[in-house]
Amino acid sequence: MSEALDVLLRCLVVLGAFLTMPLLVGQMEHKAMAHMQARVGPMAAGGFHGWAQLVADGVKFAQKESITPAAADRRVFELAPAVALVPYLVAMVAIPLGPFFGQGVLIGQDLDLGLFFVLAAMSVGVLGTLMGGLGSGNKYSYLGGMRVAAQLMSYELPMVLAAASAAMLAGTLSLVGIADAFEPWWLVVQLPGLVVFFVAGLAELQRPPFDAPLADAELVMGPLTEYGGMRFAMFLLAEYAGIVVLAALTTVLFLGGWAGPWAEQLGWAWTLLKIVGVSFLVIWARVAYPRLREDQVNVLAWKVLVPLALAQVTLTTVVVVW
């Protein structure tokens, strides 16, 4: 019985993180983006600098009517937001936060296939957007869906290769093991891998500058055009949960996870700090760079990222063996 309770408790903690961290990143995006553009962002909701803006948004979304277009493939259309959302929750279960006041590593479950598992779960999330795009029966959504597919195919490969490079250095696929094995000089050796992983992750999440599938100036909202209310909110939550998962993976694979002073006690805080830092970069990229055109998206993947990632794998092999 106590085992079942233990599993339940782990799930609830992961669920708690899943429901709060994306909102924090979302609020950070509101405020950081606003200040980068010489605005102040939300100020009213909740009183203090609009801290409750996203909570208010959530309450609003929950009361919205649900509309399925007559032309849509009803089942696919209605299931898509769940398919987009749930995988990121599942991915979070295998991501470690690090030692918690000397109590061992804070993690949902340490899987010995952790890295593989998280990457697999993340790619399932993209299918949700694809389902939305092809199931809406809308021309904008359809074009957006095609672009999602192109992006998924191009960027999955460099991402997996860069992640494999981290696994090679550590000699394990367990995310706890990889972060534990971290040594500072990896930052130098793994730098190309880090860049490739982060950029490919951005593209996989369809975050600007890789938001050609959503491209509001051309495709209205791409695959999400026909969505409103709660289902749209689920896609939105999935997007920010995706940022958290990407930032956490980047942290654990390439930035040493909980490596830092007093890691035995405060490891979890270091990991969280690094996750927030990487999430900030994701937001910064949105403000700083213009959107890539569709053909540029694919060219960047195959002509720059894939060769870079292959070079990284070769370099890592040399480093590990010699």
Partner 1 sequence: MRALLDDTYLPGYATVGAIVVVGLLLATAMLGVNRLLRPQVASRDKRTTYESGVDPVGEGWAQSTVRYYVYAFLYVIFAVDAVFLFPWALVLEQIGHAAAVEMGVFVGVLAIGLAYAWRKGVLSWT
Residues of this chain, 147-176, that bind partner 1 according to CB under 8 A: 150, 153-154, 156-157, 160-161, 164, 167-168, 171-173
Check binding of 37 to partner 1 (CB under 8 A).
no
Q: Select from 50, 81, 201, 242 the one that contacts partner 1 (CB under 8 A).
A: 81
Check binding of 303 to partner 1 (CB under 8 A).
yes
Burial class (CB in 10 A: 0-12, 13-18, 19+), 45: middle
Closest CA to 283 of 216, 229, 230, 205: 205
Check binding of 142 to partner 1 (CB under 8 A).
yes
Q: What does the block give as tokens for 213?
A: 């599938």
- Taking the complex as a whole, the smallest distance from the CB of residue 215 to partner 1 amounts, in Å, to 14
Closest CA to 141 of 80, 219, 239: 219
Q: Where in 11-30 is the site for partner 1 (CB under 8 A)?
A: 11-12, 14-15
Cα gap 79→76, rounded to integer Å: 5
Q: Where in 261-290 is the site for partner 1 (CB under 8 A)?
A: none
Cα gap 321→107, rounded to integer Å: 31
Q: What does the block give as tokens for 71?
A: 């032309």
Check binding of 254 to partner 1 (CB under 8 A).
no
Check binding of 211 to partner 1 (CB under 8 A).
no
Cα gap 218→152, rounded to integer Å: 20
Check binding of 189 to partner 1 (CB under 8 A).
no
- The residue count for binding partner 1 (CB under 8 A) is 80
Q: Where in 42-61 is the site for partner 1 (CB under 8 A)?
A: 61
Check binding of 305 to partner 1 (CB under 8 A).
no
Measure CA 239 to chain center: 7
* Binding piece for partner 1, criterion CB under 8 A, among 48-56, 114-122, 245-253, 258-266: 114-122
Cα gap 118→48, rounded to integer Å: 36
- Taking the complex as a whole, the smallest distance from the CB of residue 281 to partner 1 amounts, in Å, to 25
Cα gap 313→306, rounded to integer Å: 11
Check binding of 214 to partner 1 (CB under 8 A).
no
